[in-house]
Chains A and B, each alone.
Chain A
Amino acid sequence: MNEGRDSSLGRSRRRKGVIPAIRRLGWPLVEKTYFLGTFARFCWMIAARVPGCLKRPRLVWVQVYHLGTLSLPIIIVAGLFIGLVIGLQFHTILDRYGQTQVVGAAVAIALFRELGPVFAGLLFIGCSCTAVTASIGLKRSSEQFAAMEVMAVDPLEREIAPRFVAGALCLPLLTVILLAVAITGTYAIVVLQIGMDEGFFWGNMQRFTKFFGDFTEGLLKSVVFGVMSSAIALYHGYSARPTAEGVARATTNTVVYASLTLLGLDFVITSLLAS
């Protein structure tokens, strides 16, 4: 294990050459592959316990309250400001070309297809997924799961699966709410404040926006994001080191991994649907 260390000189020195470079590359690759393997196995374990957890809807309902209802204020306030700022920006740009009448349509398409699901997903990760990771990490570090196993209660079915189902259910609901509030925000700034004609605003929005197309594409994305971010949050909480630093690290990892995966998946889904 001392291949990178020159013991005779008593100081570390990196060996040059192709083989040591491959070796140095090897460990992170093995580590990531291991992470991917354990994550896939964890997802499979959750999926296998979802039917059992659905027999106790009360457990899911409690998590819907914690993950969904408690995220409502941030989703509504963020949605309003997103709608206001996008409406203002689109109006300023389109005004140069005398095309302000399509502001409603432009904002609706941008929100339905991309901004709504992505913003709601990122807010959900920051607000709810971190709480999930911290709570699961703390339960694990205080050996609550071990105590449940002693009592012949499956912690994956009682604690993990309900959070997974609730997370996958809540994000689409929160996305729909964010979209409605954002469009109301755009209406407030463009029609009520700037004075654009209401008929052009709603008429063009309906003409250019398809419910079964633009809106459902965004909703599909939010379902995928909900499943993915919940699984990542639960995995990091479940595999956290049983220390305060370990739980803190797991919470940070949840935000980093879930946010980057969300943005990557957004591109993949958009590409798939576009083709």
Chain B
Amino acid sequence: MDRQQIDLGAGLLLLIAIVSLAFIALRAANFDALGGASTYSLAVSFENIGNLKAQSPVKSSGIIVGRIAALSLDQENFEAIAHVDIDQRYSFPDDSTFAIVSTNLLGEQYINIVAGGSETALADGDRALGNSALILEDLIGKFIFDKAAE
């Protein structure tokens, strides 16, 4: 067997294995590392984010317009902050409503944007106020409490 062919073949195996390992490692560790679309960031504050998670989609009228980059807690007023990356192609008025909704009763949660009527659009780094998530346990608790009161 030709020495050059063996070197090329064995090198190909190693190369594909290294690329595969990098693919698995990056996908298992950091989703954004393989992203690339240009976005602008917004910070949306919520009283309670429920089960909202990083990398969940941000939708408007059912269309995905961005993703949640990170979640944090504001130490001043103890509100949850969702840092969202919105695709540069989409702009929203600064009085738009951000609400946490679910795909179904037990499904994953995402942020839904209902566009407002203002002339001014939200820009990179702006802060918006969001409607908190619907917490199933709170609803059940409220229902039981109301029934008991009756």
Contact = CB atoms under 8 A, between A and B. Distances in A.
Contacts of B64: 197, 199
A206 B107 contact: no
Given A65-B9, A101-B107, A205 B57 contact: no
Interface string B13-24: 110110111011
Contacts of A176: 17, 20-21, 24
Nearest to B9: A69
Interface in B7-59: 7, 9-10, 12-14, 16-17, 19-21, 23-25, 27-31, 53-57
A42 interface: no
Interface string A102-138: 0000001000000000000000000000000000000
Contacts of A180: 19-21, 23-24
B17 A205 contact: no
| Majority SS at the chain A contact face | helix
A132 B75 CA distance: 65
Contacts of A179: 20, 24
Contact of B31 (A177, A206, A211): A206
Contacts of A204: 108
A98 interface: yes
Question: Could you say which interface size class chain B belongs to?
Answer: 35 or more
Contacts of A64: 10, 13
A206 B29 contact: yes
Nearest to A211: B28
Given A176-B21, A183-B23, A199-B67, 9 more contacts: A65-B1, A65-B5, A68-B13, A98-B104, A98-B107, A177-B16, A180-B21, A210-B28, A211-B24
Interface of A: 61-62, 64-65, 68-70, 72, 97-99, 101, 108, 170, 173-174, 176-177, 179-181, 183, 197, 199-200, 202-207, 209-211, 215
